[in-house]
Amino acid sequence: MGVEIYGSEGSPACRCVFLVARAIGLDYTLKPTNPMAGETRTEEFLRMNPAHTIPTMADDGLFLGESRAIATYLVNKYAPESELYPREPAARAVVEQRLFYDVGLFAALRSVLGALLYFKSPEQFEAALPQVDECMELLETFLKRSPFVAGDHVTVADLAIVANVSTIEAAELDLSRWTRVQRWLAKMKALPYYSVNEAGAQYLGGVFKKALFQARKAKFSAS
Ligand SMILES: N[C@@H](CCC(=O)N[C@@H](CS)C(=O)NCC(=O)O)C(=O)O
């Protein structure tokens, strides 16, 4: 049956997995799944992933949630020699550290987006923005130390992080302060398989911009 990924292209977590799969040349079947329509809350889905999140992967009887766990599994199983996930312990540890950093980055992005989509609150949005800034500052520091986030070549950590940073850029949040981040982003966009991230980042960035516009308009009308 091959690898199946339950997900959607708007989700940054799913795009991390799509990027990794493309990077290692793995064919997978996308099972389009929309959490907003309750599709991750069905009995069948919850059996695969009780956390009701996308991406969820099915492969040869293994069902796995969590994008970063899926990404590293795919490299371990299908491209074990790939430098995307180095085998040498110290190099691998740095990649894993950056993947844990990415958990915080995704949470920061979710806070700013959630403030608008769920709470429709420009104030909550403004209050959440420093979390994104802090993550960008740290990313800039990583990139002062090496050309890619975990060393001198692309790893799964770059692919996870770019799914979030490209969404932040598409949402037109100001990245101008972080020049290394911008240079790194340009290099990531030049990768031959980057296109799998593009439409989803633009889509979610667009959702974000619209929600910000509407929340500010509603606030203005009410004042
Ligand atoms: N830590 C998870 C987060 C995934 C996540 O939050 N996915 C969202 C879509 S971007 C989702 O499925 N939300 C539905 C829900 O939480 O019920 C991962 O990296 O896979």
Architecture of the 89-221 domain? Up-down Bundle (1.20)
Question: Probe ligand 1: pick from 8, 54, 73, 105, max atoms within 8 Å of CB?
Answer: 54
What residue owns the CA closest to ligand 1's atom 11?
A: 53
Distances from the Cα of 189 to the Cα of 74, 123, 145, angstroms: 22, 33, 21
Domain residue ranges in the chain:
4-79, 89-221
Q: Which residues contact 160 (CB under 8 A, 6 or more apart)?
A: 16, 67, 68, 71, 98, 99, 102
pTM, two decimals, is: 0.97
Digit-by-digit pLDDT tens for the chain (223 residues) are 799 999 999 999 999 999 999 999 999 999 999 999 999 999 999 999 999 999 999 999 999 999 999 999 999 999 999 999 999 999 999 999 999 999 999 999 999 999 998 888 999 999 999 999 999 999 999 999 999 999 999 999 999 999 999 999 999 999 999 999 999 999 999 999 999 999 999 999 999 999 988 888 887 787 7
Q: 4-79: what fold?
A: Glutaredoxin (3.40.30)
* Cβ of 54 below 6 Å from ligand 1: yes
